Chains A and B, each alone.
Chain A
Amino acid sequence: MKILAPALLVAVASSQIALSRTVDLTPWKGGGFGMFATLDHAGYRGVDIVVDAPDRSEALQVPASIELVVARAAACPTDGMLRAVAEAVVARERRYQRPVSRVTLTFWRADFDRATLRPSERPVRIFVYDVP
């Protein structure tokens, strides 16, 4: 009885560390108590979106309607999360009757120079979704 809840905490927090090491889950999220421990958080990671179609190649600003799904993918950029973003982009483009044959997502993160603090954006993962 006494250790069930603490054991659950250890299991979830250990999984969070494993996920942050393997699939880039942000240390701030996922129940591992890594908040206020690193600059690797939502403010300094994101997903860039490029939509391609015949006669079209366009970088999209993240529209409000898919902000949540993009935030989830930025926090944990697994294939599944990124595919969900791509599918949401395709659905939105189709709603506006715009052609789309491929969605390219780039998950990036910011690094800060140790001495000058100067930031730089570093692409970490590229996910290409060909529209079926």
Chain B
Amino acid sequence: MRPIALRELAFSSQAGAAARAPAAEVDAAGDPRPVRSPVQARDIAMCLTAIALLLRPMGPWFVRPAILAVAVLMILSPALLRSALAWGAIAVMVAVRIADDWPLADNHVYLLGYWAFAIALSLRARASADTLACSSRWLIGLAFVFAVLWKTMLSPDFLDGRFFRVTLLTDPRFGDAAQLIGGLSSGQLAANRKALELLPPGAELLDPPSIAEPARLRLLASAATWGIVALEAAVALAMLLPAPAVGSSVRHAALLLFCGTTYLFAPVAGFGWLLLAMGVGQLDDRQSVLRRVYVAAFLVVIFYGEIPWAGLALDAWRG
């Protein structure tokens, strides 16, 4: 009699049932094959969140190792991945991280805290997947509402284009894109940066240098300004409008389009990973194609962040 190895099936909500009834499937040699139960979208969402925690370690010494350790254990143990207590602990540690150096934490750290809290609550709820999906929609929708509010109503220098005109010239993370797409030469970029350096209060240059802004650069700044507002507003509406008005596919298309375009330029991959993990949290278990698209998008955002594509393209362009 051959020994039967019972393997724990990662992401199976019915591991017990699988273990009880494995005899239905055998391979050609007669060995039992592990019974596969469908992977739940909720599990993928939580797993991607744990991976995001590992990809961008955060916080001071008294929370960082604990966050990393819990994230590793969550990936290794399906039971811990589905533990409300573990996600509650992550939410608390993220809150401690925010409080420790308030107000310096980035916004996606707050969103991560809300998301971990939402996961913990959903795991205690009777309709766990529905609760998580609903929380995900509201969290993404509201975050984007506030982002649009800041850009369109509260900020004095966004809609008139100043934010991107200055940022494309001065932020080194956008320098390659400003040259590649905006048509600036490296000499112009350096001169512009010098011209935009701050002078002490009251000081004024006798002959202030002018700033070179080729038409393509102005066009890029305008496209970035209005494009980001349009994309963020689309995501906010798609998430917050009720289901009859906006179908699930529109909602996911808006979020994927935002992540696919924004994080090509914006140097905040951590935000992208989190949004994508939250997007998966809205899928039901039949939407396996969309689930794969989200996982692919998660990987694409890793590549966006790690490959200096604009610099490489610029080098290739200049020979």
- A residues with a Cβ closer than 8 A to B are 1-6, 8-10, 12-13, 17, 20, 25-40, 43-44, 68, 71-72, 75-76, 108, 110, 112, 114, 116-123
Closest chain B residue, CB of each to CB of A4? B121
Q: Report Cα–Cα, A34/B156, bound state, in Å.
A: 12
Determine if B166 and A112 form an interchain contact, defined as CB atoms under 8 angstroms apart.
yes
Determine if B163 and A5 form an interchain contact, defined as CB atoms under 8 angstroms apart.
no
User: For the complex, would chain B's binding face be called helix, strand, loop or mixed by DSSP majority?
Assistant: helix
Q: Report Cα–Cα, A120/B160, bound state, in Å.
A: 18
Determine if A27 and B198 form an interchain contact, defined as CB atoms under 8 angstroms apart.
no
Determine if A112 and B162 form an interchain contact, defined as CB atoms under 8 angstroms apart.
yes
Q: Report Cα–Cα, A28/B47, bound state, in Å.
A: 29
Which among B139-147, B241-249, B292-300 touches the partner chain? B139-147
Q: Given the interface contacts A33-B147, A117-B162, does A5 sit within 8 Å of B196 by beta carbon?
A: no
Partner of A6, one of B138, B144, B165, B200: B138
Q: Given the interface contacts A33-B107, A36-B266, does A1 sit within 8 Å of B162 by beta carbon?
A: no
Q: Given the interface contacts A38-B157, A75-B103, does A9 sit within 8 Å of B150 by beta carbon?
A: no
- B residues with a Cβ closer than 8 A to A are 98, 101-107, 110-111, 114-115, 117-118, 121-122, 124-125, 131, 134-135, 138-139, 142-144, 146-147, 149-151, 154-158, 160, 162-163, 165-167, 169-171, 195-201, 208, 210-211, 228, 266, 268
Q: Given the interface contacts A5-B114, A37-B158, A116-B210, does A27 sit within 8 Å of B104 by beta carbon?
A: no
Task: Specify which chain A residues have a CB less than 8 angstroms from the CB of B170 in the assembled complex.
Answer: 43
Closest chain A residue, CB of each to CB of B158? A37
Q: Report Cα–Cα, A123/B24, bound state, in Å.
A: 77
Determine if B135 and A5 form an interchain contact, defined as CB atoms under 8 angstroms apart.
yes
Task: Specify which chain B residues have a CB less than 8 angstroms from the CB of A39 in the assembled complex.
Answer: 157, 162-163, 166-167
Given A33-B146, A38-B150, A120-B199, list of 10 further CB < 8 A pairs? Answer: A2-B134, A6-B138, A8-B114, A9-B114, A27-B155, A31-B98, A31-B105, A36-B266, A72-B102, A112-B166
Q: Report Cα–Cα, A9/B211, bound state, in Å.
A: 40
Determine if B160 and A114 form an interchain contact, defined as CB atoms under 8 angstroms apart.
yes
The minimal Cβ–Cβ distance linking B302 to chain A, given in whole angstroms, is: 21
Partner of A31, one of B110, B201, B208: B110
Partner of A32, one of B117, B125, B146, B200: B146
Determine if A34 and B163 form an interchain contact, defined as CB atoms under 8 angstroms apart.
no
Task: Specify which chain A residues have a CB less than 8 angstroms from the CB of B106 in the assembled complex.
Answer: 29, 35
The minimal Cβ–Cβ distance linking B138 to chain A, given in whole angstroms, is: 4
The minimal Cβ–Cβ distance linking B87 to chain A, given in whole angstroms, is: 11
Task: Specify which chain A residues have a CB less than 8 angstroms from the CB of B101 in the assembled complex.
Answer: 68, 72
Determine if B139 and A6 form an interchain contact, defined as CB atoms under 8 angstroms apart.
yes
